[in-house]
């Protein structure tokens, strides 16, 4: 088959719309015959047939948006060409058949990545063109601005890659082909090569790039790591758990013998240019859009954490024994935040054009720092959860974020966000709004400070609180009152029980 490719559209043109197909699937076509017309915001383009044959597949319908390099469809060469020209092509086809074991090829396609995700970037391929692969074997990850989507082999056979690492792709786009071969699944060369690949770690089919780094840095044997991920793959958490075990440290001994006499930066360039990941690009774009859109202002307060810390220390063992999870500070902050949001609904609202949408539900986003960047998974209906339910929900979301297992649904639709820079030692900050939300609460480090209590100086565990808010919808009085209410609830946690 010959691919029908979207041509380059111009330096400033990133996409085009399919205006019209001139042929239907099954119609005979000739080389250089017009097949499809594309429209951009500047010009119209014609795409012609790359070969004689039959139009075997249309990948994008009229009205769809495509990007340069996208495969629009396929032409089955020689199937319906004139008799005088078909014979040479029909003879040429079997010459390539041995590569695929004489059977038809199966496309490797980009899956649907969510309603609001229109494109992604191809990550590092776990296999090379010409390698044999097994069905359901991990081939590559597609990185979107929200999650990473794994693509596995749809069949046994030999892989041909058509979209290299770093390429921008769209849902449904064909990024490779697998020449189906009945011998591929049981081929002796593949099964013999497996141990060698497993020993190297980085070529193991079940290792994502994040797991590869953990394996390489800790000299782990992937075969000895217990896999708990979907489809039997090793997650980053699995690798970190294996690295923390005593036996994982043994292989690191030879590394100590390596000479350390090289001068600083002797084997490193003074500068290194690295392309931003799609997630980092999205973080940068959304934060700048947030600053440009909202009238952002930050107000501060401080809270005495003595009561919360005493309550937590008194009941943490019984809490963990009863609920199976540790009692942290986040559940108290979520409860206090929801109480304040109910009193001041503007902080739980958003602007849509000239309308204000007041939210009568409380889906709290909790910012989580991961290896790839900051993500904000959402704890749904947090107002109906107990302290234990909140702790469990936040724990599950945090693990999913760090393992790269978050779904799009878990990242969308929050009404208010809490971010905790205190875990990194931050004393004070001005968090940026997570648009279109109207408010974000910043927690910070707990520091022993002298404060005046009833005319006396005492040392208390104090935390600064910061509320960044959209001044277009939230007035200063409401913002200050919001933080005061949180302070009151945290300094007197019995208010939770009395619903005050």
Flag residues of the chain having pLDDT under 70. Answer: 9-13, 41-44, 78-103, 113-117, 145-147, 181-210, 213, 229-232, 236, 246-266, 496-500
Q: Classify strands 439-443 and 456-470 as parallel, antiparallel or unpaired.
A: antiparallel
Q: What's the CA gap between 478 and 471, in Å, rounded?
A: 10
Count the helix, strand and coil residues of the chain and give each as a percent rounded to the nearest 5: 35, 25, 40
SS3 letters for 113-169?
Answer: CCCCCCCEEECCCCCCCCCEECCCCEEEEEECCCCEEEEECCCCEEEEECCCCCCEE
Residues 6+ away with beta carbon under 8 Å from 303: 462, 463, 465, 486, 487, 490, 491
| Top-level class of domain 101-186 | mainly beta
pLDDT of the residue at 409: 81
Q: What's the CA gap between 315 and 321, in Å, rounded?
A: 10
The CATH number of the structural domain formed by 291-498 is 3.30.559.10
pLDDT of the residue at 475: 94
Is 471 annotated in the active site?
yes
Per-residue pLDDT of 302-352, as tens digits, reads 999 999 999 999 998 999 999 999 999 999 999 999 999 999 999 999 999
Report the percent of the chain where pLDDT is more than 70. Answer: 79
Q: What is the dihedral of CA 9, 11, 15, 20, to 10 degrees?
A: -20
pLDDT of the residue at 239: 76
Per-residue pLDDT of 72-98, as tens digits, reads 888 887 654 443 343 344 333 333 434
Per DSSP, the residues of 284-339 read HHHHHHHHHHS-EEEEEEEEE-HHHHHHHHHHHHHHHHHHSS---SHHHHHHHHHH
In the set 27, 317, 381, 475, the catalytic residue is 475
Inter-residue contact 375 to 411 (CB < 8 Å):
yes
C-alpha closest to that of 416 among 344, 363, 487: 363
In the set 471, 489, 492, 499, the catalytic residue is 471
Correct CATH for 1-99 of 3.40.190.10, 2.40.100.10, 2.40.50.100, 3.40.190.170:
2.40.50.100
pLDDT of the residue at 63: 82
Q: In the chain, where does the domain assigned CATH 2.40.50.100 lie?
A: 1-99, 101-186
């Amino acid at each position: 088959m010959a691919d029908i490719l979207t041509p380059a559209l111009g330096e400033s043109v990133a996409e085009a719309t399919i205006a019209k197909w001139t042929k239907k699937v099954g119609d005979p076509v000739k080389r250089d015959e017009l097949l499809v017309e594309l429209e951009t915001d500047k010009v119209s383009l014609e795409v012609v047939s790359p070969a004689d044959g039959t139009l075997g597949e249309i990948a994008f319908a009229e009205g769809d948006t495509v990007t340069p390099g996208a495969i629009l469809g396929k032409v089955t060469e020689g199937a319906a060409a004139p008799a005088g020209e078909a014979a040479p092509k029909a003879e040429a086809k079997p010459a390539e058949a041995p590569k695929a074991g004489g059977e038809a090829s199966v496309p490797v396609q980009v899956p649907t990545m969510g309603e609001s995700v229109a494109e992604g970037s191809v990550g590092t391929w776990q296999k090379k063109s010409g390698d044999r692969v097994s069905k359901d074997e991990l081939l590559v990850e597609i990185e979107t601005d929200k999650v990473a989507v794994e693509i596995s082999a749809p069949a046994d056979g030999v892989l041909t890659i058509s979209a290299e690492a770093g390429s921008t792709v769209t849902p449904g786009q064909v990024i490779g082909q697998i020449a189906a071969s009945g011998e591929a699944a049981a081929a002796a060369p593949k099964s013999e090569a497996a141990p060698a690949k497993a020993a190297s770690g980085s070529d193991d089919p079940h290792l994502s790039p994040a797991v590869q780094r953990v394996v390489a840095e800790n000299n782990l044997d992937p075969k000895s790591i217990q896999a708990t991920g979907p489809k039997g793959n090793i997650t980053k958490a699995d690798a970190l758990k294996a690295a923390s075990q005593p036996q994982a440290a043994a292989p690191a001994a030879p590394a100590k013998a390596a000479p350390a006499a090289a001068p600083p930066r002797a084997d490193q360039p003074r500068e290194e240019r690295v392309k931003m990941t799609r997630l980092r690009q999205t973080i940068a774009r959304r934060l700048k859009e947030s600053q440009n859109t909202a009238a952002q202002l930050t107000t501060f307060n401080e809270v005495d954490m003595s009561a919360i810390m005493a309550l937590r220390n008194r009941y943490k063992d019984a809490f963990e024994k009863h609920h199976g999870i540790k009692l942290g500070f986040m559940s108290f902050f979520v409860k206090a935040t929801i109480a304040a949001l109910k009193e001041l609904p503007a902080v739980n609202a958003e602007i849509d054009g000239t309308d204000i949408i007041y939210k009568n539900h409380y889906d709290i986003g909790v910012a989580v720092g991961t290896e790839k960047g900051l993500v904000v998974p959402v704890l749904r209906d947090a107002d109906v959860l107990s302290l234990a339910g909140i702790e469990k929900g936040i724990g599950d979301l945090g693990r999913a974020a760090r393992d790269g297992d978050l779904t799009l649904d878990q990242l969308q639709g929050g009404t208010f966000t809490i971010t905790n820079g205190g875990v990194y030692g931050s004393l004070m900050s001005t968090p940026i709004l997570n648009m279109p939300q109207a408010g974000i609460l910043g927690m910070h480090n707990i520091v022993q400070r002298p404060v005046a209590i009833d005319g006396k100086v005492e040392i208390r565990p104090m935390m600064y609180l910061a509320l960044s808010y959209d001044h277009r919808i939230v007035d200063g009085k409401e913002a200050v009152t919001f933080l005061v209410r949180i302070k009151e609830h945290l300094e007197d946690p019995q208010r939770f029980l009395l619903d005050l």
